[in-house]
Structure 1
Amino acid sequence: MISSDSLRNASYRRSQFNTQARSIQQAKSIGQSTIFLCHSHKDQAFALGFAQLLQDAGCRVYIDWLDGDMPERPNKETAARIQQKINENEYFVYLATGNSSRSRWCPWEIGYADGVKVNDKIVIAPTRDNSGSYGQEYLDLYRRIDVASDGHLAVFDPNSTSGHYARNIW
């Protein structure tokens, strides 16, 4: 499981966040994988840190609150835009934290993604902090992403202890 400390530390390196491709279309045109990052807005620092790790693995990451076209207050248009972005991005990654499990939006987003994406395009990022670990309830359904023993991100199939480097999958 990814520690909250490692996510916080990675968030400090975010100065180059998403500079490889400014749009989903541009990312796809240069062969870069695109990811919709589902997370609780209470975990903004963790989301930025995790997005940095994903970018380090060669991905372009979409974060809804960084989208200038997103409505200021959540409404029906917000839901439609989130659905659009989940569809447009190749992967859906769920950052599992205590806050995301209590969120009103995160369970809805993963439910929507489950209905429109094939299972190997949905990945759970389980985390741990001083209070415990999060994401276990989803691990048997979807692939998971974790930090490998050498510090690189790796993706694991359900119920598997051996995985592949994320940079080779994305």
Structure 2
Amino acid sequence: MRGIDRMLTPLRRGLAHIVSRAVVTLVNDASRMQTLQLSLLADEQLDGAEHWQPYGFTYKPHTGAEALVVAVGGHRAHSVVIACADRRYRIAELEDGEVAIYTDEGDRIHLKRGRVIDIETGTLNIKATTAVNIDSPLLTQTGRIESQGDQIAGGISQIGHKHDGVQRGSDISGDAQ
């Protein structure tokens, strides 16, 4: 029995190190695949671990974020990070099924129950080369609206429209055309 235990000890040790938790100590975001420097065990440092991110999404974790690391083929030197989390900034108490994208600065896109999406930020920039279309029975806004171009309301230009029945003095002009 001792012989079997002695033979299985390296296998157990190897299996125990296939999946590990780590703390991010440095991020290299300049390459095509982001790489991280990680602190794994008390005295173990791992440099250049590839940070795998889902297609269409990217983020740069803060130093101190936590990572889930997989040693591909059981080789610690060829580890990949499959997820990073940062409990310092995570939005808590979402309802079942809700999704949120957020930053440490308080920006968030929150997909809520009831088909409601909340966006919170300081400045929201939308750049569209052709058009921005809003199809809604009601559009509500607070504050001032500024425009560099014409506004068309009810088919009438606010810049190029004309009034009939214009008179001098304090009379009221006719309807816009």
TM range (shorter): under 0.3
Q: TM-score, normalised by structure 1?
A: 0.20
Higher relative contact order (CA 8 A, sep 6+): 1
When Rg is computed on C-alpha atoms for both structures, the one with the higher figure is 2
When you count helix as a share of all residues, which structure comes out higher? 1
